[in-house]
């Protein structure tokens, strides 16, 4: 497997963990000191915080993540990746659903164990960021059933 393929595979591992709601599995694809820069909130720093970030989300929702890689460039032990994401979420209880599409840049690093992981990851949506209120709306919809 080339470095380029190994970097691309990070997305496959994240998508697989996302599909089964495995917060630690998603976080395992980030370096110990990774910085996840999502929209609508400050950066999340470190693998543990990244897992904690996904846990409540996966507790409430089933998610399906699709990524489309548009660019990968490898510079020795670091790599740059750019692409598009599409996320579909469905509340585990109730009928609430949501769909988001956006774009990202990630910086991957060959980690101390030789495995490529994301060290930096920033994304945004092509539409207004879903707010806590709209998430709350789905949850309220859920309890109304």
Binding stretches for a copy of itself (CB under 8 A): 35, 37-43, 73, 75-76, 78, 80, 82, 103-105, 107, 120, 122-129, 131
Please give the full DSSP string across the chain, using - where no structure is assigned. Answer: --HHHHHHHHHHHHHHHHHTT-HHHHHTTEEEEEEEE-TTS--EESHHHHHHHHHHHHHHEEEEEEEEEEEEEEETTEEEEEEEEEEEEEESSSS-EEEEEEEEEEEEEE-TTS-EEEEEEEEEESSPPPPHHHHHHHHHHHHH-
Closest CB to a copy of itself among residues 61, 121: 121
Closest CB to a copy of itself among residues 53, 124: 124
Q: To the nearest whole angstrom, how small is the minimum distance from the Cβ of residue 6 to a copy of itself?
A: 18
Q: To the nearest whole angstrom, how small is the minimum distance from the Cβ of residue 124 to a copy of itself?
A: 4
Q: To the nearest whole angstrom, how small is the minimum distance from the Cβ of residue 145 to a copy of itself?
A: 27
Closest CB to a copy of itself among residues 12, 33: 33
Q: To the nearest whole angstrom, how small is the minimum distance from the Cβ of residue 38 to a copy of itself?
A: 7
């Amino acid at each position: 497997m080339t470095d380029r393929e190994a970097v691309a595979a990070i997305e496959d591992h994240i998508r697989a963990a996302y599909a089964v709601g495995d917060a630690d599995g998603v976080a395992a694809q980030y370096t110990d000191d990774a910085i996840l820069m999502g929209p609508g909130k400050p950066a999340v720093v470190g693998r543990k915080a990244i897992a904690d970030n996904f846990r409540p989300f996966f507790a409430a929702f089933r998610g399906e993540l699709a990524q489309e890689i548009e660019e990968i460039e490898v510079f020795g032990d670091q790599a740059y990746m750019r692409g598009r994401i599409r996320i579909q979420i469905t509340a585990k209880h109730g009928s609430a659903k949501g769909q988001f599409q956006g774009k990202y840049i990630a910086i991957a690093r060959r980690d101390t164990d030789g495995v490529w992981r994301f060290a930096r990851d920033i994304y945004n949506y092509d539409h207004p960021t879903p707010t806590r209120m709209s998430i709350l709306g789905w949850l309220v919809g859920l309890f109304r059933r």
